[in-house]
Structure 1
């Protein structure tokens, strides 16, 4: 190992022969660590979100071991530490409630400990943005290693997508097309290996965003969780992070405005989740990049969706990887001049384009389509504004029904999720397929945590008629595995006194995605009068514990739902402590 050319951050703990150096080294040595590990080697933290309560990340102990091999091989000293693991599958009321909490855990663990760089082990939806947010606030060298998607689900001899099949079969069950036994028969086959959802849900989307941003090695996003190449990538990432310390390749050199614009365009090409809008904004806010909701219109609109994956298309993440993965998509985009900033720097020290210019593309243009045969000609996230969403709302065109993207209908209003659950099963509910379903009080403050309930299931009586989609509007989020003509992230949210709070049963609402308009068709004076009479929900005032902190400090969806006091990069310096 060569002596580092610049002072190591960890030397502030281990590099002196005074009382403090003695104690820091001695305490670490109780784990059987020999003296030479403290002699000028870069100390690499492995930030691990392993948890048996987070099934997507339950295999991370093995991944961490492969990362350690790479770190040792490159001359570094690995130290693994746990952080809050907020898995979407089990955590109630929603993992989004604790994304910021997890990011605080990560930030303080990095800043307060003797590490020169970190490997971020991410997987389930919120762990990727949480770890990137925390690391960005410290601005240390960091590299992302995701856990990878699970193998294709199998049911009755066909492939099924994790998450997506739940929505599909539950709607069929409610419509009477299948019985309960048939519905439950898909349960065991949906999730048959370690890993995240195998559709282009939020986990796969954020893995792609991490790669498009340049924070991981090429191919990190799509290698299946149980494929041996996932462990090879973990090993190589461990080797590379040691080099990044030597190069002082900190996150601020990678997470530039150009990198975020590349990610926005890539998200459109892959048919990525609307959740990426919130998470990218939050990550950008931590590193000090000015990313606005309108950047999604400016940069993303007009970009074709060329990845034919569920829930927008047909295939799953296994086929995506075997067809070339994200480098193949980026190559296809670059050759068509659809990559805004091909020279953006990535974690391996090369530009995004250098990594992807010669990436192989397999599969006869089936999974990764040719640009002249896209899944959707304009797959960029549709940003909507109007008197119903003054600060914006979003819709995912690749998952929507084209005929509904310009629509005017009568509002059927649900005041909260409980109201929706109680009334949607009422056969006498006054609703038909032309109506617009409106769900209130499910935003950042209102739920709290902005749960994935925006893709409201349709009434059984309409499903029985063969209706599969309706316009739905809420201040909630939607699972990346879901689909439909669903307007999400309405800001300001109802619980913060946004116009959504005063929509009434029978109001007419106009949606026009082409012009980016979301309009409540009542006179301005009427809207003003309704808002003047509005009162905040009573239960919001009764919050205690972390929920109180969350409700009092969470920003709105257009600002990334971070806490107001967490925005910004605080660096890695910490006052020295003398024992």
Structure 2
């Protein structure tokens, strides 16, 4: 939603290239929009507390604020790892007036230098972002955003890159939902610069940022103040980190999960499917005492993907059936073509592609089918032969479009699958830097 308005604004104005942002959704949405325009642009995170408004905040309100920054969630949501992208002035905190002034100065210099986002967002910058996302326990949503941004800027990024670029990267940030601390604690421990300094051996340290300097300039002289929040590379908080991509006949183009927030014993698991055709079907059945489900079952939710819902909601981390909760069960393997909040946790397989609504194998899963998940081996497989899968698919009926007019219809017709970034197909690539003609 935010992308459309931001893109229109960028195409309509020549110099207004500092984007003032709020929460996680707007930061990433605006970042996608900026990739369509080959111009000098940088990001500035604003807030609702008067610092970027006409009325200044009261001293008491300023000093009593528990959080050093605004917009990103206290746990590890999608906006927080995105700060490793080279598109913002470093060290965003409550000193917003200073940051706003620096951003204003820097954007003018960038225009004079002709330094554009297309110059700094190269292959190495994306690989750095993947690495940081792995070490910080970032959101699975970050994958979709990064794939969409790369497609807009013309960088060939695929799901497989999230396995290869972050190979061997441990979890260094002890942050919820993979750990116990919050972003405020992360900030006071030294923040992202400290974590990136520990990751130097995995990063492209000479990649240029919007500052015109290499990314290493952001962290060369930083210091860690709490090693329980940000661990060293030699003694990581967890050796299991990052985003795992799994493939197989159930997810031909791939699916994702966050191993650091999953139950280790479930990362290799085989179980019988308990299927919910829609989110409404799930809500109707999940707490039914007669639901045929066991602790080792695998919950499968269909039709919550980009086209099927439409819009790919954050419902993939389905609740555990009440009858199992009462027995003390706290996690199960859950599979869907939807998303999950960055604050969510559990052994949750998401973004299954192709999704059920376009005839992916997920659409033909039935109650009792045997599904095998093997995260170390990168496998998501349903125990059916190719012939059985083809026979079931031949009996699928075309799904009618939920939306028949307006933007919702346009979206449903043109949104791509999750493994491509769930972007609109006609917006791949850059639209150039020309300014549209005045309509008056």
TM-score, length-scaled by structure 2 = 0.92
Partner residue of 1:564 out of 405, 415, 425: 425
Question: What SS does the corresponding residue of 1:212 show, helix, strand or coil?
Answer: coil
Partner residue of 2:174 out of 299, 308, 313: 308
Matches within 5 A, 1:392-411: 392-411=254-273
Question: What SS does the corresponding residue of 2:35 show, helix, strand or coil?
Answer: helix
Q: Paired residue for 1:333?
A: 199
Q: Paired residue for 2:79?
A: 203
CA separation of 1:380 and 1:578: change in aligned 2, threshold 3 A = closer
Q: Paired residue for 1:421?
A: 283
Question: What SS does the corresponding residue of 1:213 show, helix, strand or coil?
Answer: coil
Matches within 5 A, 1:253-332: 253-332=119-198
Matches within 5 A, 1:366-385: 366-385=228-247
Which stretch shows the higher mean deviation, 462-471 or 370-379? Answer: 370-379
Aligned residues: 423
Matches within 5 A, 1:54-69: none
CA separation of 1:502 and 1:236: change in aligned 2, threshold 3 A = same
Structure 1 residue 532 corresponds to structure 2 residue 418: no
Q: How far does residue 108 in structure 1 lie from its aligned partner after superposition? A: 2.3
Partner residue of 2:332 out of 470, 479, 483: 470
Q: Paired residue for 1:352?
A: 215
Q: What's the Cα RMSD here?
A: 2.0
Q: Paired residue for 1:545?
A: 406
Residue by residue over 1:221-255, the C-alpha shift from the partner in whole angstroms, topping out at 9 and shown as x without a partner, is xx3xxx3x244323322222121111111111111
Which stretch shows the higher mean deviation, 120-129 or 319-328? Answer: 120-129
TM-score, length-scaled by structure 1 = 0.70
Is the Cα–Cα contact under 8 Å of residues 256 and 351 in structure 2 kept in the other structure? yes
CA separation of 1:576 and 1:202: change in aligned 2, threshold 3 A = closer
| Distance in 2 separating the partners of 1:542 and 1:328 | 47
| Distance in 1 separating the partners of 2:314 and 2:352 | 13
Residue by residue over 1:342-381, the C-alpha shift from the partner in whole angstroms, topping out at 9 and shown as x without a partner, is 1111111110112211112111x11101223323213121
Q: Which runs of 5+ in 2 are unaligned?
A: 50-65
Matches within 5 A, 1:208-247: 208-209=81-82, 211-220=83-92, 223=93, 227=94, 229-247=95-113
Higher relative contact order (CA 8 A, sep 6+): 2
Question: What SS does the corresponding residue of 2:305 show, helix, strand or coil?
Answer: coil
Residue by residue over 1:391-448, the C-alpha shift from the partner in whole angstroms, topping out at 9 and shown as x without a partner, is 1000111111111000000000000100000000101111111000000000000111
Q: Paired residue for 2:62?
A: none
Is the Cα–Cα contact under 8 Å of residues 285 and 567 in structure 1 kept in the other structure? yes
Q: Which has the higher helix share?
A: 1
Structure 1 residue 105 corresponds to structure 2 residue 28: no
| Distance in 2 separating the partners of 1:391 and 1:146 | 35
Question: What SS does the corresponding residue of 2:309 show, helix, strand or coil?
Answer: coil
Is the Cα–Cα contact under 8 Å of residues 409 and 510 in structure 1 kept in the other structure? yes
CA separation of 1:249 and 1:423: change in aligned 2, threshold 3 A = same
Is the Cα–Cα contact under 8 Å of residues 138 and 242 in structure 2 kept in the other structure? no
Matches within 5 A, 1:164-179: none
Structure 1 residue 487 corresponds to structure 2 residue 346: no
Partner residue of 2:30 out of 123, 131, 144: 131
Q: Runs ≥4 in structure 1, deviation > 3 angstroms?
A: 147-150, 193-196, 574-579
